[in-house]
Amino acid sequence: MGIPKFYRWLSERYPTCSQLISFTHIPEFDNLYLDMNGIIHKWSHNEHSLQISEARMFINIFSYIEHLFEKIKPKKLFFLAIDGVAPRAKMNQQRRRRFRTAKNAEKARRKMILKGEDPPAEAPFDSNCITPGTEFMAKLSNHLRYFINKKITDDASWRGVVIVLSGHETPGEGEHKIMEYIRHA
């Protein structure tokens, strides 16, 4: 959902933070902060079908992280923040959205049956799994830790950078965790 008016505040205070750059000349950056939930949602859906394997999802997510790291080349810090348990005020909003998502998925399934189409034998990925504390998020966090350790071991450009993973088990939304880290750095 984001922090209300954050982008406007950021772009007014730091006008050069949002600008078109050519891929032939990318400026140098000390730090790269990623709010991972947008990335997780983007790469957990397949454009061509309803179904995508968990393994493919993880590969997509890790490839995208690798792509961003290679383009930006942070010199000091790479911070990845996955949403943890949200503040109480936001929980009801999230609950409504998750119920609506599940209801819409069931409607789409019934619609396929009414049209005479066969719904997929395997249930499509439920994006409600992208929730702190779920088995999916625990697996993703474990695989992400492994991926990061492997990159540090195999890729020299990852070794000189402090890498922080704030996982789903740490309370707070990704963007709030990032701001908290910046405040205390």
Classify residue 167: in a domain, yes or no.
yes
Domains held by the chain: number: 1
Classify residue 38: in a domain, yes or no.
yes
Classify residue 55: in a domain, yes or no.
yes
Classify residue 74: in a domain, yes or no.
yes
Classify residue 114: in a domain, yes or no.
no
Classify residue 112: in a domain, yes or no.
no
Q: Is 72 exposed, middle or buried (0-12, 13-18, 19+ CB in 10 A)?
A: middle
Classify residue 122: in a domain, yes or no.
no
CATH number at residue 21: 3.40.50.12390
Classify residue 30: in a domain, yes or no.
yes
Tens place of pLDDT for every residue, the chain, 185 residues?
567 788 888 888 988 877 777 777 788 899 999 999 999 988 887 665 556 778 889 999 999 999 999 999 999 999 999 999 876 656 556 666 666 766 776 777 777 778 887 766 666 677 778 888 899 999 999 999 999 999 999 999 999 999 999 999 999 999 999 999 999 98
C-beta of residue 5 within 8 angstroms of C-beta of residue 91: no
